[in-house]
Every structure is written in structure tokens, then in C-alpha cells.
A = this chain, B = another copy of it.
Amino acid sequence: MRLAEVDTPALILDLDAFETNLKRLADAVPGRVRVRAHAKTHKCPDIGRRQVAAGAVGVCCQKVSEAEAMVEGGIEDVLVSNEIVGAAKLERLAALARRARLGVCVDNAENVRALDAAMQRAGARIDTYVELDLGARRCGVAPGEPALALARAVAAAPGLRFAGLQAYHGRAQHMRSMEERQSVIVRASEFVLQTKNLLKKANLPCPIVTGAGSGTFMFEVERGAWDEIQPGSYIFMDADYARNEWAPPLPRFEHALFVLATVMSRPDAALAVVDAGLKASSIDSGMPTVWQRPGLAYTRASDEHGCIEIGSPAAAPALGEKLLLVPGHCDPTVNLYDWYVCVRGGVVEALWPITARGALS
């Protein structure tokens, strides 16, 4: 089937661009730093296995249910880069830790005790990372003494292996200028180094510092304080990331993820309405852009409609014409679909299931 024959809306993965992105990341990151690709972005073991084949040590997930899908799909080393709270989830995490190399993050002593108890009950052990709050004010403990205290609690827990530090600055990823992002990561690296020094003085070896995302990872690499990076969006390169300034040391990534949409109404000369609204492309980080169609601007989304302003008569799409949209934000857009329609040179080559779509728990 050709791309033009695919019914809409559909989530399209351009395999050439995707493979280019895999290679550019692998080429950019020096051998001393491990890549642990973030599977929250794609939720698809077919993609996770290709990331491992391209050199990743494994993947990260944000949810136990995502980790279950990845282990079931053949990924043997999974870090849940998040805190897991509640008896039901801890029990599932412990069961999974018996089947694969598994990691998790903590930022609270009470949670360390519950995690340890769940692992001991299951006869499992889990790599446990102390998450630092690097200034984004979400999860994490303060660097320095609070992190050291929690690391001691982890190291003393028979069901846990103290594996190091989770050090991710989410808000830095979408700061627009290279300079802003670099300066936030430089400051973050000081928190990391300070905490590593404290751990060393306390005779607590810190095997791995893990963190970083697609918008900053080369800054973390350059600072030398990280052993592992967690980029996710680099494989797809969404419209919001494209609004960032991109320059060396970050490699360029290609748009590989699209929503194919059909023009379903042409109410006037300046407006085309497509069948892909906010249930087809998440608008939390801005509207999608129209791919390789200068003069067309997607300006409004309702649940099932997208309004595209037509800048000049020459740019006007016909009723029934199909357009490729670059989603504003890849992660929540992927979470709306059951499969990727994988295309190469305009021809459908495969369907990859989004196994962990809706895996929220």
C-alpha cells in the first residue's frame, strides 16, 4: 500500500528518518557514556529493540505497565525513571524484577521501605536510583545531604541495590536557546558533582548517574558528570523540539513522526479543515505544523477538526487531499494510536503495535 492510500488520521513513522536519527545519536555520544533510550516516547518494543541494536543498554519507562510491555517485548534492561508508590504497583514491579534487569527511582524514605519490603516478599532485588531535584521542582530530593541520607537508606535495604543517581532536568529540554539550556545543565552538574563527592566521602560507591533528554544530552555528556543519558524524542523530532535552537554539540535530527490527515472541508478560500484534531495530535505543546507545504498553517484544533489557514491561493489543498502534520508533542500524540504505519519511500513497509498505549499505571 502506498502512503496516499492509508486511511486517516493515521500515525506515520518515516523509517529512513527514524534510522537516521538512531545513527546520529549513536555517532554523537562517546563510548564512555551509555545510552538508555526513553520508551515513554514510543511505547513500542519494536522500536526499543532497534534502539538496543543501535547501541542502547536498554530503555527507560515512566510506568510499571510500560516496563511490563517492554520486558514482554524482549527488552532485558529497563529503568523505571520514576517513583513507584502503592502496594499494587510495587508488587507488579517486584514480579517484573525477577524476570529482567530492572531499576527504579526513589525520593522518599517511606517509599524506600515499602519498595524494599515488596522486593523481599518477592525474593527480588532492584537497582535503585536516588532522584535529585535539579531545580525543575517536580520529583526528587535536594542534592547534597538529603540525597546522601536517602542513598544510605537504600544501601542498607536488603531488597535494593544502590545503583546511583537519577539526574534529569525536564524543564531545560524545551528552553529555546542553546545557551539557556547549557547554563541550566552546567548548574545541574554542580549539584550532581557535589552529591557524588558526598557519597564518595561516605564510602558509598555511586555506579551510575543517569539523566538528560533530547534537548540537552550533549551538555550532560560534555560536563562529564553523567554516565548514562535518557533521550526519548530524538527518534521522532516533534514540532516543539524543532522550535529549539539546534547547533553542535547536539546532532540534527529529522522529523520522522507524522499524522496523516485528510482535508474534509474547504468552507472558504482561506480555510481548509482536516479530520485530525486534538484527539489525533496532542496540542499541549502547540499546534502541529504542516509538512513541506509552505503557505499552510494549522492554527486551531477542536476534538475532531483541525483548521488550516491558507496563506495564498497557490498553497490551497483540494477537498480530499491528504496532508502530513508534524505533531506539536510526540509522546502524548503517540499515546493516542494503536500502531505506527511504518513507511519508506512512500510505501508502507510494516505496522508496529504501540503495545504500551494507555499504559498509565
Contacts and interface: CB of A to CB of B under 8 A. Distances in A.
A281 B332 CA distance: 11
Nearest to A41: B303
B361 A9 contact: yes
Contacts of A89: 7
A145 interface: no
Say which size band chain A's interface belongs to. Answer: 35 or more
Q: How many identical chains are in the complex? A: 2
A265 B336 contact: no
A348 interface: no
Nearest to A282: B278
A279 to B, nearest CB: 5
B267 A319 contact: no
A242 interface: no
A305 B138 contact: yes
B335 A82 contact: no
A303 B332 contact: yes
B332 A279 contact: yes
A93 interface: no
Contact of A62 (B63, B82, B304): B304
Contacts of A275: 63, 85, 360-361
Contacts of A82: 264, 304
A278 B358 contact: no
A133 B83 contact: no
A43 B263 CA distance: 24
Contacts of A111: 319
10 contacts: A7-B86, A63-B275, A83-B265, A137-B268, A139-B265, A170-B302, A278-B282, A279-B332, A280-B360, A335-B336
Interface of A: 7-10, 40, 62-63, 82-86, 88-89, 107-108, 110-111, 133, 137-141, 170, 262-268, 271, 273, 275-276, 278-280, 282-284, 301-305, 307, 319-320, 331-332, 335-338, 357-358, 360-361
